[in-house]
Every structure is written in C-alpha cells, then in structure tokens.
Structure 1
C-alpha cells in the first residue's frame, strides 16, 4: 500500500537537498530522540528536518501542520562489540586515535515512511519512484552539522597570533637544549624562537615540574614573544605559546625557525604530553575520583531531573551551567511542560535549530522528563552510566557569533552563565511563564558613599544578578612540585567583604573638591535565587592563574547583616548633579576584567575610555596605561546617552529588509549592538516597534518595583555548586553538585557530563577545594 501511495504522488513534490542545504539526521528537532530509539528518526524529505514518533510523536504533528507527508526513516542498532578487559574504560581521547565509523558500530535500516497513511516501505526497494529514491540517497550521503561538530571534539582551534609572523631571529652563541639555562631542569623545557634561550615552563597538572624561567625570559625580553615546548615536537604536534597574547598559538613557519637552532622536526620524537593532552588528562583524573571508599564506582541514579549531558568536546562548562539553571524552579516551570513542545513552536515555519526559545524547551524536556535518564546499554562497561542527551544544536546556536563560546575550547562557566542569562533576558524569552525566568536572580545592590568632609551621602543603586566575592589567598607553603598550598577560608568570611566599608577618593559635588569618603555596599532587595562566585582568579606576572584556596561553606546563610542601611535621619543627600549611576558598563566585559584581577576603578576607566565594547580592547588599554598616576583613582563616568541610536545603524538593519521603527527599537534594547539587534528582530517578528513600554520597564523602574516587594526572607539554602578543577578557568573540567530528592531523601548528586551519581563524602569535599559558582535558594520558596 505504501508503494502504491508513493507511485501516486506528483513528481515535483520533493527534490534532493543541495550541498548547501542543512540536513538534520542526528536527533529530533524538538526532542532528543535519535536513530537509536525504537522508531528511529524520520527525516522530512520536503524540508530535511528530523522528527520522531517516539515520545510526543512530532512526526505526526509536523505532517499535519505543514502537509509534509514523505519521510526517510533512519534507524540504527548497535553491532556486538568485543568486551573490554577493564571494568571502566578511560574517557575517549580523540588525539592520534582512529575513530570508528558508523558502519563499524551500527546496523542501519532505512525505510520511506508515508505519514498520511502511516505506512512504510523498505528503502531501497523496487518500484520506489526515481525522484524519491534519489532524494533518499542524497539525505543519507549528506553530512549533518552535528557530525561535523563531533569530529572536532577535543581538538582545540589554535590559530596564529600577530607575533607569529615575521619573527626576526637573534640566535645565541651557545645552545644547550638538554636543560633549563637558569635552574638545570631537564623536563618541561621551552625554546624561545627568537633567540633560542632554553627555559623551563610553569608547573603543570600531573606533577610536571617547572619554575617559569621561560616566562621570566620573556619578561626580561618583551619582544621575544613565542616559545615552543621541546618535548612536544614531532611531525604531528608542537606546543607553541605566545607570552604576550597569553595563549597557545600556531606558528606558520615553525620548521624553518627551529632549523636555525639545529632542530629538525622531521627527526624529533614527542617525549612529553602536549598542553591539550594534559588538559584532557585532568578530565580523566576527575573520573577516577568518582569512587567510594572501597574503590568501587559511585552509584548511578536515574529519573526525572537526573539526566546527564554528554560531553560535546570541552563542553562541560556549558553542561554544568545548564544543570544548575534547570534545577531552578523558574526555569523548569518556564521551559518544561509534560505535553512536550508548545504547539506555537511546532507551527513556526522557520528552522527550529535557529530559535533559542525552542532549544530551551527542548533542553527542558531533555533534562527534566526523565525519558533519557536511562542506563546506556550501548556501552560495554559493567557499571552502566546514562545515555543522557547531546544538546549540539543548543551549543551551536548559543555560541554563534561569540568569539569564545563558538569554539571547541574550554570556557569560563561563570562568564557563560551571565552571557546566557543576558541573552534570555534581552530576547524576552519567557517560555510559558508570565515573567522572565532570569528575574529569579535579580536583586538591587546599593552603593552608599559618604563624604568625610561635609557628611553628605550619595546613594547609587544598580540592578544585578550575582555577587563576586574576594578570596584571601594566604600561602601556607609551597610543595616540592611548586604548587602553592593555601590557608582555608570560610564562605561567610568572603561575604563579610560585601558589608565592609572602604575609604575612597571622591569628587564631592557639595565640597567642590576631592575628598576622602567611605563606600559601603548593601542589598535593598533580595533575590529568589542568589548566585555567589568567589574570585579564584588572580594575576601573577600579568598571567591569570586560579587560586586553589579551600573554601569552607555552610548550607544555610543569612544575608540580614548585608541589608542596606539607606539614608539615616542625621544624613543629607548630596546634590543631584552626580550622574555616575546613569552610565551602564558592559557587564560581561566588566566581569571578565575583574576575573583577571584588575581593580574595579581601572576596569571602569578602561571600558569607558574604549567605548564600553569588550574586555580585550579594555585590557589592551589597561596595559598601555599601567603607568598613569590616576589609573586607580575613583572613576565617575559622564552621563550615559538616552535611548538613541545612529542613523547609520538603523540603515544597516533596514537594508536587510527590517522596518525602520522596529530596527530602531531593536538597537535601543540591545544598546546599539548590531548582531544582538538582528537576533532580537528574528526572535520578535510580530513586535509593533513601540518602544515606550520597554523603556518604561528600564532598570530604574525594575529597581523601584523590586524594592516595593522586598519583604522576602534573608535566609538562603544552598541548592547547587559548579566546581572547577584545573590550573585556569579556560582549561580543566567543570562538574555540578545539586541537591535532589532521591527515594524521598535529600542528597547531593554529582553531575559529571553523562555520569550522574549520588555524591559521597569524599566527592563533596571537592566542593570546598574547587567550588566556583554557588547557587542559594531563598528559604521562603
């Protein structure tokens, strides 16, 4: 019957995809069902999007709404694989390892599915019309975007920097490549490509010794930018590091440059691990720590709200943030409904993979429904961890256009958390809630400045969603491996800095001169969920390093002592000619600069002077003005301009076909950022362009609204912690610890990629050692 139906269709109803046509065949557009599921995956032969009949039967809904009746059903089943000798294999490292093909791993079965009559016919089969058979063959041959991303997993995108070109060499008279010229160390050696000086590198993960003499050589000779790790050299590998850019780089002419010093790469053999291999080893080591006192693997758990996320290649920063966010009530209620994807999202004629709200609903269903929180039967391990989900579409979409999050490199989880919250808020993605879910984190922070000359007071309020906590880094001792051991601190002690008064220099509008003043912060409203992040990053020799300071935490904290005192009866407000609070700093850039260890006033001055654009531009300005005598003076910016944008910016959007009124609103709401404005326009195609209501809901209006409803409890209960293990926040590994109900009892659960286990005492101790982001829930919720 299905064959007769296909033969009755008009020939022009479908045509094969071109080489540039996106073909989706890894998972369903609205859920995480894959070709490995019971009914396989249905790839629409009209629009080449993928749907599933398992779960919520999105194939049927798509066929009904769009009259797309013909699908290529693609189903895979695993071939029997040889048993492994070890109980638990190491995490796969895709360096110098041949990846198995799908043909080696799976049996594939394909059919043509006719949705209108709910019948299928095997493909290939005699009698299938040629145009349908050709379309099916083209779909199978096409490489999906998800697969391209998987191939790149674990590979860093290293590119040349400006200092990697036209290197003018000045060879030293004598060269001994067997040891560090300063300390005699015979491993972890780096050669300066400018002069050939041999110096040891930094101490590295895994007990690799180092005294940073290669870095010290660069400090003595700032124009000697790049060094190469001798032990990493082979025809297929070479670690090159630019100390000026503070990053791994590619050196295009490296073979010739090293030949100057008598080094022939074609004859060298790699003797030490590369930086990437060391980074991956950290992830593997973390896996080994997932054991109990007897050495057995911690107990996996399964069920609703207990779904793991497979690592997509240095994506654990993203996974840990998503686990924490979707454990927050406001996010789960906004982006998860048991009935599945909202109908209006299914009816959207566009590409679901490019709609962020659709991807958030897909994540909500994936993480909270429990359908994917099942043992992975495809693995040969004795202890079965989860199948989990692979949110490749979300990762690609959220990172699109961002210089860091679009790469396959490890990123800062805290920066990503703030970036994601900002993205959701700017695009007004409320899901099925009446208010934005990001508002659950918002609160009002008041800066109280009191002039010690006249006693006048300035109250400056800001709307924020996190508190960065300073960390005392008292070194107890330095180990034989060069690693510093720090004194333990308490999270409460870090919080005390929030309510501590500091003395600053202040241009008092009443005294009309520079005066000493006290500055103190306090909260005038309290959030539903509180984000705290200890500042574990510090600049040493202008290189950001992570402080492994153990932080003792309490699971219940009280913020009552940090409530703002406001204006007292014996205090007088200063004249309203200070407009510093009207300027809004780029928060992402500000957080990035603070994470590098720069003082706040220095960051403000740099951002304001460079147009408040991005962290890199501001950082370069800071380095160029290090000697300015006033660089750390109290900074008071000029008034921020009103909600206006340039005609050129509006024209650039109208040239893309957008209405001028709507383009103006998009630019105003996104502070003139063209890329974000375009995203907003695509996300709000039916907006009328009226900006009055949006301006009325400005931060100032939100502050008033929040302060009028500020009678919330000041007690908070710890619900989640994102931990980071590694030397820097852009390397190593992230995991999340969350409080969950397991069989009626509250337990700490460890989310380590797709591995979800009940945490034991030893793994909970990792929170003290490596806690990076703490999320507390208000006790009234």
Structure 2
C-alpha cells in the first residue's frame, strides 16, 4: 500500500457471525448511507458514524484512537415505472439484497490522514479486506433485532391438546352451514361443522357463524381456517382462549373429516398477514374531499418517523413527548449529542440518555425535515427517522415492546415515563423532565353516618377517565353510532361521587359512604386518556364515541375541597383489623354489586377479586377492573383476603386496593408491598419491577423504605408549594389518535400544535408524512383521540 496511507493492522478487528455490526445509521445522529458523505463504519468496534453537519467520525477517532473506517454509501437507482415503495406485510423478515434498489459504494477511510481509497482494492492488506468483506456481508444489528422481534411463536393451549371428536354425518366442505358464504370458512375440529368467520379487513365477509357454533357447543373451542390449509401452515384458533393456537396432531384430526392436508394449497391470507396489512393500510385522511393531497411541511420540530413495521404506537407517543418544553430543554442541543455522552461511552446503543439525545436532535434540529428527492412520488414527503436503536433499547426485556407487533400507545407512554424516572435520565436538567407532568390526586371517603372523612393523596402523571358511552343507532353498514360527549362531561363522570358500603373505624360495622376524587394540584402538562375500551358481550371492544373537539379545558371545578365544616378525619386503618388476629377475615361484599356482576356473567371468584381490589365500590368499578385483569393467573382461584401484619415489607403501609391488584396476579403480598414502596405506589411500575425481579426475596430494608418515602414526601411538598391556584385553564397541544377495532391493531398518528409560518397550526404526523391538518383531520380526532396532552395557559 502507498506509504502515504499507512494502516495499523493491530487496530483492525475482523467481525464474526455473532458480532454486532451497526450500519443503518450513525450512533449519535440519524445520518445514513443515503446521505452524500455516507456512513463510516469503524473497523475496530464496528459502530457507524457520520461526517455530516456534525463530524462524529472525527470525535470517535480522536477519543478512542480508532482511525480506520469502511465508508458506505447507497445511491438510489432510477427505476422504470417506479411506484411508491411497498410496505412490508410479512411476519417473517429476511435480509434481502438491496442491489435492485441501490448501488452500494465502499471505500476505506483513514480519519487521521483524512484520506480514502476505493474498495475493493487488491493492494490492501488481507486483514483489511477480510474485515471489510465481513462488515459488508453481515446482517446489521438493527436488522437482526427486527428479524428476532418479528418471529412469533404460536403455542398449543389446553383446549387444542385435548380435542375429543364426534363427527357430524354427511359433512360438506363447500359453504357455511348457516349461510351461503364460500370463503373465510372455519371447520370445527371437534365435530366438523363448517362456519364462516368474522368480518375481516379488506372486505372479507363473515357472519360469525363459527363463533355462534362454539357458543352453542361450549366444548367445541378449536377451529381451523379452511383456506389457510397447506402442508406447512394453517390458521388454528381457540375461541375459549380468544387467540391463535397450535394443534400438534392437526393432520390426523382433519383426516377424521376426510381432509388430507398434504393435498391442500393455501388460498387465503393468514390471520397475521391480515392484521399487519390492516395496520399498514388503515390510514388517516391524507387529502381533501376535492382530491387534493395535504401540504407537507418541513423545518425544526417537523420531522417524521419511518414505520418499522408496526411502530406507529411508539412514533406517535414520541412526537407528543418531544413537544413538551421540559423534554426539549432536557434532550436537545443545537450542536448535537453532548461530548460527555461520546467520550467514555463506547456502547451508546446501551445508554438510554444517549438515545434520548439522539431522538431530540433528530426530531427538533430540522436537519432531517427535508423532502426526499430520491423517490418518484409526486408529493415529496420526508425520508423519516428510523428509531431502531431506541426501540431495541427501550423494549429490551419487555414482553410486548420488544416485539415488532402493534402495541398500545398509552401503555407505551406510561412505560417510557416510568423508565426515564427509574434510570434518572434527566438530560441537561437537574430534575426529571417528567416532573412537568406530575400532580397530586386527592381521594376523599366520607361516612354518611358520622360525617367522618378519610383523605388520601397520590402523585401521578396522567389520568384515565371514563367516557359517556350512549348508543344511538346503527348506520347502513351495521356500525354503532354513539351520542357525542365532551372532555368536560368525562371529567364530570370521573369526579362524580360513588356510593358504597364502608367499614367505618369510628362508627363500627358497615356504613353507607361516598368517595370522590379531586385535584389537589395540577401539572404544567395534563395528560388524559379517554377510556375507549368497554366490555361488550364480555369481549373488550373499542368504541368510537365522538368527543367534541375543544381546545380549552378548565380544571377549576375539580379542585380539592379538603375538610368541610362539620367534617373530621377518621382514625387510621389499624382499627379496621382485629389486633389479636394478623389475618384479615373475608370482607363483607356489597350484595347488590355481587348480584349485578353475577347477572353480567362473572363467576363468584372473579366478582369477589374485583370488588376487593376496587375497595368494594360498586359493580361498575369492579367490572372495569375485571376488564383490565382478565388474564391474571389467580383470577379464578377462590378469593382469599391478603394477610395483614408481619415483619419486613409486609409491615409497611400501602393502599389495600393496589396491593390486592398485585396479589390477584399471583405475586406474594410481601414482594408486592416492596414493589409498591420502591415505585412510589404506582401499580404499573410495580408490575414491571416484579417481572424484572422474579428472584427477589421481598425483604425491604429500612433504608430503602426511608429513601422511597422521603423521595415521595419531597415531591409532594414541591408540588404543593409550587402549585398556583390561579392557573387552572389548559390548552390542547397534542393528541395521539388511533384507528382500528383494538388498540393492539390498527394505526396510530399524532396531531401536534406547532408554529408554522409564524402561526400556531395543527400538524398531522402520520409516520414520515408530516402535513398541515385540515378540518376533516380535526374531525377524525373526535372519534379516534386516545391520548390528549394539555398545556397550562
């Protein structure tokens, strides 16, 4: 090699098949190989950097003495009759050659000398060529994670493992037994009855006769889709488990009905393909009624995300999060990622704070909010940021967010907020940026006999509020039309007093009491989740109840009342338990509430678990709790009140309702108490902690108790002292919307109020499509709004 281009062979590491190779984007920015300078992949640590507006390649080289890089550029080929790129709909993702779409150009770059030589090059040392070839041919780390995440293991259930067959004489496999449909047919593996399925996305008809058959014959739980049959794949569904299942001896079972699976060729799309296709194609209105497409907008704070498959739930939540002032101040610096996150941080892909800085730079700098001129689309949208690294890191170890399947955007929001707090990811701020969302809820129980009250306060960062679900009529297609409500009406419903039976420590015995919740303080940003999931025929169903689009919200009427004249605080809960018995006897459940739950179809065990967990506060509260805990492992076990007292964590005072929520999931009382104490009494955070610490002994040290209590007390005092009672009016600044029948399918977008051309305007973030919203878009918010963010005026 030329003496002017010396190569330090000792610094070169030839990657193996197990090595992590980062070549999708820069470790600290969203620059990619499509950019003019391309990506520089370090031949020592195999991480990618860029020499774009911010020269991260130079920083990495100088900080770590890694001088040699493989420069990688992708140049898009001109395609004949090119259409808009087709989005991936298959469940299994394989690394495909990009040679049809791009020309790939490589060179070896020495940063210290600032010189490059083209690659391949016969004059290069063998070790350099070996390392370069290995990097070029390797599957990128992001793609490996994507492939693993897309893989879905369908398992047998107890029903599919114990199928008893009683064939119906004279079977026919041409059409549904109950109607004339000849597609979307499901054969019962117990008797051979052929019934049509439910209506499916894409116009596939169905009258649900297969499900009706199961309702008539409860033991006939498992069916297989006739059009999905082939020698290597079949859609099997268990109606009792309400999920796809595997049937181990499917071939033998089908032979009972004269079906030889080896002779079948699949003629219909699988359930998974239909769901993913639905998620991709379920789009929001991107044009006016006159056919004119919406106007794309570009600039700082107007950057979109590329959909990674089903990542719109994550993208929409991040758009709202980074519209909040404290998150912008925490994680955005005009000069890119701070030097201290580059120096001494050789694995930035494992550091959540680095990933947050990277997102802040990508979303807010405006560098990536430019038209993508490499496409042949008439309307030029952005290329969109691919948040692969962030998604992999934030979802690591989580059973849902680690997959590529669609998830609940609100659940992801609360999970991310909790993660940032636990890991103390503050960015440039001294305190957590999540403090802008914190406020204190005050719960007041009042005995109607003695007028005694018990007041509890809880720090939270969001509210889920009930909607007024009033069914009006059905449209021509059979879809339900609901009466319009408003956010104010929902707040009123949340705030309305509940009447229930209460064990009053002063009066003794059961008394009629009321409970209501109010706001002791209010936050800088008020996060609200309207509860769009209801139980319909005992099945969780999403309802498109229209919530009137109003940009202002007044919280004055929901302020705490505190102790009113004639009221006095009740003594502590210790009197509720007999001092000579550390085991709580079974509580006296509200008979009317129990009967109401029985009439709804719930079993006695489920009803008692629910009433105990919700403080015996009536059938509606119990029903909502049941809806959220249908899959709890101990929900059908005989109810047993948790033990009270003892040593260690179990002697710590925690909310009985929250403790019951955790113990009903199968966790012990001691470790559940510890989880609540360590997570500021937040149930969702406690559940995550419990799953992350399955081997914990549950012993809670006094220092840990004191530290957690102290942190909570300090936060409460800070919120109370900084609360301004005169500022209780709020303005809507962002909404996450969802289209689809379930929050785990369909499509999420974000509407955010931005300054465009000097005016505050609503902007629609639909993946990489960032456009000015029109009246039709705003109308869609009314029936699809799922997560609202208000800012204090």
Return closer, same or farther for 1:259/1:121 CA change in 2, 3 Å cut-off.
same
Distance (whole Å) between structure 2 residues aligned to residue 636 and residue 451 of structure 1: 26
Aligned residue in 2 for 1:194 = 190
SS at match of 1:575: coil
Return closer, same or farther for 1:550/1:246 CA change in 2, 3 Å cut-off.
same
Aligned residue in 1 for 2:142 = 146
Work out whether 1:758 is the aligned partner of 2:772.
yes
SS at match of 2:573: coil
Deviation at 1:148, TM superposition (A): 3.1
Instruction: Give CA deviations for 1:178-209 in whole Å, capped at 9, x if unaligned.
Output: 44444555443322223323333333444544
Deviation at 1:692, TM superposition (A): 8.6
Q: Contact 1:196–1:261 (CA<8 Å) still a contact in 2?
A: yes
Distance (whole Å) between structure 1 residues aligned to residue 767 and residue 493 of structure 2: 34
Distance (whole Å) between structure 2 residues aligned to residue 601 and residue 743 of structure 1: 58
The structure 1 residue matched to 2:30, chosen from 29, 32, 37, is 32
Return closer, same or farther for 1:516/1:604 CA change in 2, 3 Å cut-off.
closer
Aligned residue in 2 for 1:501 = 497
Aligned residue in 2 for 1:22 = 20
Work out whether 1:702 is the aligned partner of 2:697.
no
Deviation at 1:642, TM superposition (A): 6.8
Aligned residue in 2 for 1:553 = 549
The structure 2 residue matched to 1:431, chosen from 427, 430, 435, is 427
The structure 1 residue matched to 2:164, chosen from 166, 169, 174, is 169
- Matches for 1:57-136 after TM superposition, within 5 Å: 57-84=55-82, 91-94=87-90, 101-136=97-132
Work out whether 1:338 is the aligned partner of 2:352.
no
Deviation at 1:280, TM superposition (A): 4.0
Instruction: Give CA deviations for 1:146-204 in whole Å, capped at 9, x if unaligned.
Output: 22355579x57241143375342313323343444445554433222233233333334
Return closer, same or farther for 1:291/1:256 CA change in 2, 3 Å cut-off.
farther
The structure 2 residue matched to 1:738, chosen from 752, 759, 766, is 752
Deviation at 1:108, TM superposition (A): 1.4
SS at match of 1:61: helix
Aligned residue in 1 for 2:152 = 157
Aligned residue in 2 for 1:619 = 632
Q: Contact 1:337–1:365 (CA<8 Å) still a contact in 2?
A: yes
Deviation at 1:287, TM superposition (A): 3.7
Structure 2: tracts of 5 or more residues without a match: 577-600, 616-624, 654-673, 680-684, 695-701
SS at match of 1:215: helix
Work out whether 1:358 is the aligned partner of 2:332.
no
Aligned residue in 2 for 1:583 = none
The structure 1 residue matched to 2:404, chosen from 405, 408, 426, is 408
- Matches for 1:173-572 after TM superposition, within 5 Å: 173-174=168-169, 175-182=171-178, 185-234=181-230, 238-283=234-279, 285-287=281-283, 289-479=285-475, 481-572=477-568
Distance (whole Å) between structure 1 residues aligned to residue 428 and residue 549 of structure 2: 35
Q: Contact 2:13–2:45 (CA<8 Å) still a contact in 1?
A: no
SS at match of 1:102: coil
- Matches for 1:612-691 after TM superposition, within 5 Å: 619-624=632-637, 641=650, 668=678, 673=689, 676=692
The structure 1 residue matched to 2:51, chosen from 53, 75, 80, is 53
Aligned residue in 2 for 1:655 = none
SS at match of 1:360: helix
Return closer, same or farther for 1:600/1:172 CA change in 2, 3 Å cut-off.
closer
Deviation at 1:20, TM superposition (A): 1.4
Instruction: Give CA deviations for 1:270-321 in whole Å, capped at 9, x if unaligned.
Output: 5544433443444455447311122122111111111110010111111110
Instruction: Give CA deviations for 1:317-336 in whole Å, capped at 9, x if unaligned.
Output: 11110111011111111111
Distance (whole Å) between structure 2 residues aligned to residue 112 and residue 451 of structure 1: 78
Return closer, same or farther for 1:187/1:674 CA change in 2, 3 Å cut-off.
closer
SS at match of 2:435: helix
Q: Contact 1:90–1:284 (CA<8 Å) still a contact in 2?
A: no
Q: Contact 1:3–1:121 (CA<8 Å) still a contact in 2?
A: no
Q: Contact 1:210–1:482 (CA<8 Å) still a contact in 2?
A: no
Aligned residue in 2 for 1:775 = 789
Deviation at 1:341, TM superposition (A): 0.6
Aligned residue in 2 for 1:653 = none
Deviation at 1:696, TM superposition (A): 5.3
Return closer, same or farther for 1:90/1:403 CA change in 2, 3 Å cut-off.
same
Deviation at 1:8, TM superposition (A): 5.5
Distance (whole Å) between structure 2 residues aligned to residue 735 and residue 397 of structure 1: 22
Q: Contact 2:14–2:130 (CA<8 Å) still a contact in 1?
A: yes
For normalisation by structure 2, the TM-score amounts to 0.83
Return closer, same or farther for 1:297/1:396 CA change in 2, 3 Å cut-off.
same
Deviation at 1:21, TM superposition (A): 1.5
SS at match of 1:701: helix
Deviation at 1:390, TM superposition (A): 0.2
Return closer, same or farther for 1:480/1:247 CA change in 2, 3 Å cut-off.
farther
Distance (whole Å) between structure 2 residues aligned to residue 114 and residue 97 of structure 1: 35
C-alpha RMSD of the superposition: 3.4
Return closer, same or farther for 1:485/1:200 CA change in 2, 3 Å cut-off.
farther
For normalisation by structure 1, the TM-score amounts to 0.85
SS at match of 2:779: helix
Deviation at 1:383, TM superposition (A): 0.9
Q: Contact 1:208–1:481 (CA<8 Å) still a contact in 2?
A: no
Distance (whole Å) between structure 2 residues aligned to residue 602 and residue 563 of structure 1: 32
Q: How many residues end up aligned between the 2 structures?
A: 719
Q: Contact 1:209–1:482 (CA<8 Å) still a contact in 2?
A: no
Return closer, same or farther for 1:359/1:99 CA change in 2, 3 Å cut-off.
closer
Deviation at 1:12, TM superposition (A): 2.4
